[in-house]
């Protein structure tokens, strides 16, 4: 494993060095794409000020000399997803969140993308606990894979709904030895030298919390995912009093959600969605199908309320939707009477205008319930002209094409489709710029590190922090695998650890490399050709006929092209056999010949596999 250790030194105004991509195999044997790079300066770092002797403001004066707290993000700083951060102090380690990300068009055949948590496994003997801020997949999805790789059941701390969703996930993976510890807003947990206090935040799922870490080296506030909704559906507001108290105690470093940092206003209240969903469902003439995130319990509650108010029964379909609604109802977070729920297999005889279907597929996933309904392949739910479909979500970056494809399929059937562009059937669960500035103004952190977003979101959030009074030199934009060190002397960069992604491909975890993905993309775009021949290396003669087969190549079924390809391959093999060429060189020569012919005829460069059998 190659480490890139950076001191964080540089001069004011220096431009960031170029990123570079590397491949590395971890000690656990999983292939990863490692993205490491130089510092993103804005434009001077805390470490530079330490070197120059400039005094630093500190949030609290009672720090323990020599104590160091490390913050190591392993995911969440290059995309919306796979959030995972290590907090380390005086030998004790806490893991904050363990999420995943769903694949896009650049990941053919991949089911899930996990952050590379090799660093956690290498230091598992020091891991005291895992704190989960809320139950969304981008914060919990890696837990089953990580837990199976750990050598002992490390305690997992979360709120009631969060743990309920994790229990369901662990049951799927047949994990039975998990140690789940329920916490509530206001609770404090001390693990080693790190004390964590949980506080309520408003988000698009119940039970979301932020965490205030107090260590001998300083205090760190992690907001988790949040918004400042003043009329929340469940009545739970972000805890302004706690944020104000943390200000008084002293916040040395703030880590804050950057997802909506480019939205210059306020994020609308979730309650506004219910005001729109109600009339749409009440006025619909046929069945209503609503696609949403399965973990968006607030949204599901409003859909159920609107359905019952209009005299409709609710049908739930889609594996994760069924599982999450069952968990939320059992724990008291989703309220709907049994009489208003109908099993999807019992729809026969119920008029379409008396049905609301809640399903998965808001991101256009090919195997989701909505995709199968739109394609006419769903076992129990059909769609007809005049039905209403509500896509109650915003496409995650990279999923726009998939969602558009589903919308067009529904339009061809004659369905009336509502999405965010047509009506307010979705609002974000993340704070926009004005809310982010308000939180920064309340907390007044000494140092700031934007998290949870792509590079453009992190940069925009850094600018907001500067506008609210955080000094430019106290703002740190990191990449996954880079680290910060907090001590009584200030903040500086630490060592870079291994980072990257782990691909889940069916039953395979970590065995699919970027090279395999590149091959899949090439096969899908250009096709492939196979050349098979038998030769006698002893006699240096060709035995029988050379055969060529083509798949996915323009004109590959043309007998004249096949004949020319076989002729060219045969002539090349005979030339090679007339000399002392090795089998490896023969294969290369035949491959080059066939590639040249196909480029000339089809302007394609497919994958060519040459098989030469010595008989």
**Active-site amino acid positions:** 257, 430
Residue 463 CB-density burial (10 A; 0-12 exposed, 13-18 middle, 19+ buried): middle
CA dihedral for 479, 97, 152, 486, sign (positive or negative): positive
Q: Which of 233, 246, 187, 253 is nearest to 46 (CA)?
A: 253
DSSP-based three-state secondary structure for 63: coil
H or E element in which residue 509 lies: strand 508-509
HSE-CB for 92 with a 13 A CA cutoff: 19
Assess contact for 169 and 140: CB atoms under 8 A. Answer: yes
First and final CA of the chain: distance in angstroms? 43
Assess contact for 527 and 606: CB atoms under 8 A. Answer: yes
CA distance 442 to 101: 32
**CA Rg value for the chain:** 28
CB within 8 Å of 602: residues ≥ 6 apart: 553, 554, 555
Q: Which of 133, 167, 168, 142 is nearest to 321 (CA)?
A: 168
Rounded to 5 degrees, φ, ψ at 523 are -65, -40
Residue 540 CB-density burial (10 A; 0-12 exposed, 13-18 middle, 19+ buried): middle
List the alpha helices (DSSP H) in 340-432. Answer: 369-374, 400-413
Assess contact for 65 and 510: CB atoms under 8 A. Answer: no
């Amino acid at each position: 494993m190659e480490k890139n250790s950076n001191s964080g030194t540089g001069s004011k105004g220096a431009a960031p060095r170029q990123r570079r991509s590397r491949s590395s195999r971890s000690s656990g044997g999983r292939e990863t794409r490692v993205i490491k790079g130089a510092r993103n300066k804005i434009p001077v770092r805390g470490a530079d000020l330490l070197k120059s002797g400039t005094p630093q403001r500190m949030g609290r004066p009672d720090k323990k000399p020599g104590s160091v707290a490390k913050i190591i993000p392993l995911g969440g700083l290059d995309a919306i997803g796979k959030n995972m951060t290590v907090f380390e102090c005086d030998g004790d380690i806490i893991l904050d969140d363990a999420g995943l990300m769903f694949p896009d068009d650049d990941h053919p055949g991949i089911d899930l993308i996990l952050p590379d948590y090799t660093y956690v496994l290498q230091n598992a003997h020091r891991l005291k606990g895992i704190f989960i801020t809320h139950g969304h997949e981008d914060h919990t999805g890696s837990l089953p894979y990580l837990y199976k790789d750990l050598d002992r059941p490390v305690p997992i701390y979360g709120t009631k709904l969060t743990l309920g969703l994790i229990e369901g996930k662990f049951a799927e993976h047949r994990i039975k030895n998990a140690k789940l510890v329920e916490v509530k807003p206001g609770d404090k947990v001390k693990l080693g030298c790190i004390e964590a206090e949980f506080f309520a935040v408003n988000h698009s799922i119940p039970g979301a919390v932020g965490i205030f870490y107090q260590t001998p080296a300083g205090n760190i506030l992690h907001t988790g995912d949040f918004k400042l909704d003043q009329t929340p559906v469940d009545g739970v507001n972000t805890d302004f009093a706690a944020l104000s108290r943390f200000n008084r105690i002293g916040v040395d470093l703030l880590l804050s959600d950057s997802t909506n940092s480019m939205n210059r206003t306020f994020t609308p209240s979730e309650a506004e969605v219910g005001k729109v969903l109600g009339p749409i469902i009440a006025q619909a003439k046929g069945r209503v199908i609503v696609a949403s995130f399965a973990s968006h319990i607030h949204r599901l509650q409003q859909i159920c309320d609107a359905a019952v108010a209009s005299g409709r029964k609710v049908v739930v379909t889609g594996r994760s939707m069924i599982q999450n609604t069952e968990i939320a109802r059992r724990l008291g977070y989703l309220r709907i009477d049994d009489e208003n729920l109908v099993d999807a297999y019992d729809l026969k005889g119920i008029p379409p205008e008396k049905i609301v279907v809640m399903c998965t597929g808001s991101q256009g996933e090919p195997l989701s319930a909505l995709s199968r309904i739109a394609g006419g392949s769903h076992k129990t739910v059909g769609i007809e002209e005049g039905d209403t479909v509500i896509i109650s979500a915003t496409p995650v970056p990279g999923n726009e094409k998939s969602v558009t494809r589903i919308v067009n399929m529904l339009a061809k059937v004659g369905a009336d489709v509502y999405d965010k562009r047509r009506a307010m059937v979705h609002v974000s669960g993340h704070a926009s710029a004005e809310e982010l500035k308000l939180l920064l103004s309340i907390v007044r952190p000494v140092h700031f590190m934007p998290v949870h977003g792509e590079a453009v979101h992190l940069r925009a959030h850094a600018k907001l922090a500067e506008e609210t009074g955080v000094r430019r030199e106290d703002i740190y934009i990191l990449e996954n695998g880079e680290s910060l060190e907090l001590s009584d002397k200030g903040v500086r960069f630490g060592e870079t650890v291994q980072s990257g992604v782990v691909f889940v491909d069916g039953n395979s975890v970590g065995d699919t490399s970027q090279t395999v993905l590149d091959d899949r993309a090439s096969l899908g775009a250009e096709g492939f050709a196979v050349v098979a021949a038998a030769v006698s290396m002893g006699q240096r003669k060709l035995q029988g006929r050379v055969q060529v087969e083509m798949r996915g190549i323009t004109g590959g079924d043309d007998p004249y092209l096949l004949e020319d390809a076989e002729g060219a391959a045969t002539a090349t093999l005979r030339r090679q056999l007339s000399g002392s060429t090795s089998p490896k060189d023969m294969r290369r020569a035949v491959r080059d010949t066939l590639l040249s012919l196909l480029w000339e005829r089809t302007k394609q460069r497919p994958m060519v596999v040459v098989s030469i059998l010595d008989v």
